[in-house]
Amino acid sequence: MSTGTPTSQRTGFSAELWETIAPTFGAIVSHPFLTSVADGSLPPERFVYFVEQDRLYLRAFSRALSFAAGHAEDPADTALLTGSAATAIAVEEGMHVELLEGFGVEPEEMEPAELSPSGELYVQTILSHSSRGPLAEALASVLACFWIYAEVGKELIAKGSPDPRYQRWIETYGDPTFAETVAAVLAIVDRIGEEASEAERARVQAIFAQGCRLEWMFWDAAWRQETWPIEA
């Protein structure tokens, strides 16, 4: 099944966007959290921390996608984004529970989690841009999560992991439906680039670049098991 045009072969506005964040992506795939997943040495408590944070993040991401859908004028764009919002919730309810149970953690027995400082910043950033709009800026705010996740997946699938629990997570990246969704989102991005002014394109680029940096911060927070400096 086709997974869309490889990032290295893309043209149009999306290719320009990726070129600007290539160094950030390099920093992400070389981050010790991901390299430790690949070689199997990541301490389990750091991965559990990541899954807990990701569960909270995806709830907000789903809301952000719904907000973005509200700015779309093309019914196909609306359907794509609302469908992705529903999928984000399904992932949170299914895959994350399975991953936690693989580490002997029962989700219903866990203490209520809260977002890390980096996670909170990421969530509030995407909710702000997606709720305010317009579509170009709303889509730019959620694009990093779609695209970085897909590209990280390609890197991890190529490497694999000797730890079957991490390998199970890596295999979730191979979902062809998700790859098709990312390709469809990038098609909207390219269309936006063709129609936008230079100022609008620059704004999209800035928001996307910010999202990619926040993606790095999210991985780094899991590696450090980041906490708030002062208890509430």
Q: What is the pTM of this model?
A: 0.91
What pLDDT was estimated at residue 5? 60
Closest CA to 179 of 45, 52, 84: 84
CATH class of 18-224: mainly alpha
Closest CA to 160 of 7, 37, 43, 3: 37
Residues of the chain predicted below pLDDT 70: 1-10, 92-93, 107-112, 232
What pLDDT was estimated at residue 10? 66
Domain locations along the chain: 18-224
What pLDDT was estimated at residue 1? 32
Q: What is the 3-state secondary structure (H, E, C) of the chain?
A: CCCCCCHHHCCHHHHHHHHHHHHHHHHHHCCHHHHHHHHCCCCHHHHHHHHHHHHHHHHHHHHHHHHHHHHCCCHHHHHHHHHHHHHHHHHHHCHHHHHHHHCCCCHHHCCCCCCCHHHHHHHHHHHHHHHHCCHHHHHHHHHHHHHHHHHHHHHHHHHCCCCHHHHHHHHHHHCHHHHHHHHHHHHHHHHHHHHCCHHHHHHHHHHHHHHHHHHHHHHHHHHHCCCCCCCC
What pLDDT was estimated at residue 97? 78
Report how far residue 115's alpha carbon sits from residue 226's, in angstroms, rounded to the nearest whole number: 9
For the beta carbon of residue 65, count every other beta carbon within 10 angstroms: 27
The count of C-alpha atoms lying within 13 angstroms of the C-alpha of 141, restricted to the half-sphere facing its C-beta, is 28
Residue 177 exposed, middle or buried by CB count within 10 Å (0-12, 13-18, 19+): exposed
